[in-house]
Chain A
Amino acid sequence: MSADWLDLARLHAPLIAILAPLLGAAASLCIPSPRWSWAIGVLSAAAGALIAAELAVRVLWLNETPPNVVEGVMLSPDGVGVFAAALISVCTAIALIAGVTSSEAQSSHFAPLAIALALFAGGGWIAATLASDLILVLLAAETAWLASVGLLVLSGERHAALNGALRMLIAGAVGSALSVTGLALIWRSSGDLSVAALALAEATSPWGEAVGVGLVLSGWIVKAGVAPLGFWIGSAFSRASVLAALCIGVVGIVSALMLIARIAAHAFAMPEVGGGLSLALAAIGGLAIAAGSVQAIGARNLRRLAAYAGAAQAGGVLLCVALGSPAGFAAALVQTTALAAAMLALYAAAGAGGVDSLDTLDGLARRAPLAGVAVMFGAVSLIGAPLTIGFLGRWRLVEAAVGVGWWWAVGAMTFASLAAVFYAGRLIERAYFRHLRVAPAAQGDGWRVMLAPALLASIVLVAVGLAPGALLQAADAAASAFGVAP
């Protein structure tokens, strides 16, 4: 009997991975106690993560065919989608665990709402990565985006949070407008809006199809906070709570990057689209690396610095995608995983250590040694130090880029690493070689719980760097069906 239920759950794993956080959100809203609400939220997110991870193991390691069941709304999990769903659901669960102090810090009235919004955001992003139709992708992503905006509104300092939320809302509107216009152009050119049809469509107007795909991707690029289109990230992150920072800075940005990779993976199969798309993504990626790195060097707030560093790393992901080859898509997946792990370590450690401005980072290793370790590993991975997952991601990009003669991409990644030596090296120097001068933010008991995700992310950063076989196999399997040599 239980085996039958298990088989049924496996058959509908994509749907359950989406529904688990959404149902958890509904349950969290019904419970007034912040602690119980948080516990239910964590459990539902963990259940979703477990199901998505099991699906990824079956599809990417055991080479099973992804389930393709009509679920009322059509889901069509491909390799990149399955990889993305697993990563996003795990990040959502970890963000919920690390967000424990946020829910405590906020008034008890709003804490269940914040947890529900975080779960809505996670569920929405997962749905977007598994959806078979571009309209559904857009709707699911918009749900997630608006939930993230709501989460930011509930963050600690009302005025600053509202300012950040307003900018996010504007960015979301711009992104949506671009995406909707793009969808209209694709529909007009090919008459089909399914994701898989991007690779097959016999467009009546290839030019319109190419522009349409470009506009759709531009919408996601705005939402991924990729410089110079990420005008919203500075104000959004500077006063965000830990939960909001994790949901936007890790779950949101990783999801947007995964969507870009997924849509581009299908679109590159069209010869009319591939060349221009590659050029545009490469240009934006290179620009993002430069702008994000410079902004990170100048940042004086740890969350801002991490956000700008993330934007620079996201530029690297776009470079990978721009290659348009299976190796490039696999590199993009590895890079995005590296970005997620580093950001989780940094944001969660900042929360656990009560770090806000860089001045409050001084002496962190003495007063909170484990948080200091997490900051250090997050920083060295951003630098791309060997034996971390950050190095692995860059190596895969460089390997793929050199394979097609994109030597300038090697230069761009070298610049990114050099800039990271300055901004991430500063984090290590402040945490380990300075004495505390400014009192950190007051904390409750939640920092102990918050340390767990920070340390888990640190362990992942190093363990995968040392033994990357499983991740590389999954990324290669996810990307193997996509792309053509540019």
Chain B
Amino acid sequence: MTPELALIGVLAAPLTQAVLVLMLARPPGLRDVMHVSLSLFTAVCAARLVEAAADGEIVRVVLARPLPNVDLALSVEPLGALIAAVAGGLGVLHAVHTVGLVRASHEPAPARMMAFLALASAAAMAVAFSANLFTMFVANQALTLAVFPLVAHRGDEESRKAARVFLGVLLAASVGLFLPAMVWTYALVGALDFQAGGMLAGRVDTLTANILLTLFVLGLAMAAVPPLQRWLPASSVAPHPALVTIQGVAVLPAGGVGVIKVAAFVFGPALHDAAFAARGLIVLAGLGMCAAAVIALSRQNLRERLGYSCIAQSLAVVMGALLALPAGLFAAALQIVAVACAATTLTMALGTVSVLTARENAADFAGLGRAMPWTFAAFALASASMIGMPPFSGAWAKLWLITASAGAGLLWAAALAGLAAVLTFAHLGPLAANALAGEAPQNPFVRADGASIALVAPVVLSGAATLWLLLVADPLASFLSPVWTPP
């Protein structure tokens, strides 16, 4: 498969998947096979693109030219390829888990849900491979519009309200902040294509750089930077497969990738000119991490707790990206990978537990690990990774983040990152420990036939994935180096 074909494939496969699952809604077996096999094909295409990026191949596909001098285009670079490969791999597990979940829960509209999950996946891939700011803007809007029906999926007043918050915050930030920043950049540079080394480098004064950075980072509300984080807790009413998409494989990673691309490819060295805004945003991110972790601690409902926990993790990506150091960008990229693996595991585990035991409150989890040992083993691994315990993925990301913060002379930022990790331990550690060590409840299952393998295996494999950064951290650093090294 040529890289160009693979690049078209990562976008076309999920779009085809969406159409096919709707057209072949019955029999369910055929629908499910389509859903999983096309997710697998997307992952294979993404893996091919990692290879192309590692070989330094220049791959670019122009989809349309909707504006003079501005293409709707995808291109392959290491950061996008890495995130796409991780999202694609996790997407396969997510697809299998969704199949198990919709069958176990007798979901009334499974085909519609799967179709929008696939559309969200396509949009997330488009964000990862966006070749310019315009494509990223379009892909972000598409992702918002694809996930909006997932949040409103239940169709009751509560979910509609949550969907309105989701749509309102993300679209308003995108239109009100990101779009003006994009226009401004176009006025300054005359183009919108991403460049290693930063398209604004040497072309922007200090004041403009500070304003632009603020507009870009807040405009990428998918990164959940306060005060534009409301959409994430609100969306916790969504069905579990949608939660995996939002927190694990699509929306939050897209926000993170967006911030890193802006920092590396739009600003580059010009980030030093925007030091004032960058510091302000780092303070916001650091305080936001701690506040979100504290709020998570106060939530008994695990959907809400995980939502706030994911905010804290996502803000670590923002902090790393804005440190204006290669180490910070590397930490941010690792953090996206780590959070994707851990959040996917936790939300899928939550879905499995919910559908099998109808329990979603922290207090009700005590001892459930004895009844569902595989699921809770994965839950514990993912929790440890979120907390930042060695040797899991999250530990390396946090280590690099703290090192980069100290390297940038921002010891207080390193301290905030450390404090957030402690608070994350407080809201996830005891939960996992209590589930595994507590007394097993009597008759925990609401389903007589227990869990199918489709509900457990993806959770376990995704949990195991939190270990993989231990093996590949060094190769990843050299793989990602073109992101911060101009050609």
B175 contacts A433, C-beta separation under 8 Å: no
Residues in A neighbouring B66, C-beta threshold 8 A = 386-387, 391-392, 465-468
Instruction: Say whether A429 faces chain B, with CB atoms less than 8 Å apart.
Output: yes
A402 contacts B138, C-beta separation under 8 Å: no
| Cα separation A467 to B65 with both chains bound (whole Å) | 7
Nearest-CB residue, chain A, relative to B152: A433
Interchain Cβ contacts within 8 Å, total number: 73
| Cα separation A433 to B149 with both chains bound (whole Å) | 8
A432 contacts B149, C-beta separation under 8 Å: yes
Instruction: Say whether B68 faces chain A, with CB atoms less than 8 Å apart.
Output: yes
Q: Give B81 Cβ to nearest chain A Cβ, in Å.
A: 24
Nearest-CB residue, chain A, relative to B177: A414
Instruction: Say whether A418 faces chain B, with CB atoms less than 8 Å apart.
Output: yes
Q: Which of B149-175 contact A (CB under 8 A)?
A: 149, 152, 155, 160, 163-164, 167-168, 171-172, 175
B64 contacts A467, C-beta separation under 8 Å: yes
A466 contacts B171, C-beta separation under 8 Å: no
A410 contacts B183, C-beta separation under 8 Å: yes
A421 contacts B180, C-beta separation under 8 Å: no
| Cα separation A466 to B134 with both chains bound (whole Å) | 13
Residues in A neighbouring B168, C-beta threshold 8 A = 421-422, 425
Interface of chain B: mostly helix, strand, loop or mixed: helix
| Cα separation A386 to B132 with both chains bound (whole Å) | 14
Residues in B neighbouring A411, C-beta threshold 8 A = 180
Instruction: Say whether A383 faces chain B, with CB atoms less than 8 Å apart.
Output: yes
Residue from B67, B72, B179 within 8 A of A392 (CB atoms): B67
Size of B's binding interface in residues, CB under 8 A: 28
- The contact string, 1 if C-beta is below 8 Å from chain A, for chain B 68-79, is 100010000000
A418 contacts B137, C-beta separation under 8 Å: no
Residues in A neighbouring B149, C-beta threshold 8 A = 432-433
Residues in A neighbouring B68, C-beta threshold 8 A = 472
| Cα separation A337 to B72 with both chains bound (whole Å) | 22
Instruction: Say whether B187 faces chain A, with CB atoms less than 8 Å apart.
Output: yes
Q: Which of B173-213 contact A (CB under 8 A)?
A: 175-176, 179-180, 183-184, 186-187
Q: Give A269 Cβ to nearest chain B Cβ, in Å.
A: 26
Residues in B neighbouring A432, C-beta threshold 8 A = 149
Q: Give B134 Cβ to nearest chain A Cβ, in Å.
A: 7
B187 contacts A402, C-beta separation under 8 Å: yes
Residues in B neighbouring A294, C-beta threshold 8 A = none
B167 contacts A383, C-beta separation under 8 Å: no
Instruction: Say whether B354 faces chain A, with CB atoms less than 8 Å apart.
Output: no
| Cα separation A432 to B167 with both chains bound (whole Å) | 14
Interface residues of B (CB under 8 A from A): 64-68, 72, 134, 137-138, 141, 149, 152, 155, 160, 163-164, 167-168, 171-172, 175-176, 179-180, 183-184, 186-187
**Interface pairs (17), CB distance under 8 Å:** A383-B171, A391-B66, A392-B67, A399-B183, A414-B179, A418-B172, A418-B176, A421-B167, A421-B175, A425-B171, A429-B152, A432-B149, A433-B163, A466-B64, A467-B64, A467-B65, A468-B66
In addition to A391-B66, A425-B167, A433-B152, 19 A-B residue pairs with Cβ atoms within 8 Å of each other are A385-B141, A386-B137, A386-B141, A395-B183, A399-B183, A402-B186, A410-B183, A410-B184, A411-B180, A414-B176, A414-B180, A417-B176, A418-B175, A422-B168, A425-B164, A466-B64, A467-B66, A468-B66, A468-B67
Q: Which 3 A-B pairs have the closest CB atoms?
A: A402-B187, A386-B138, A417-B175
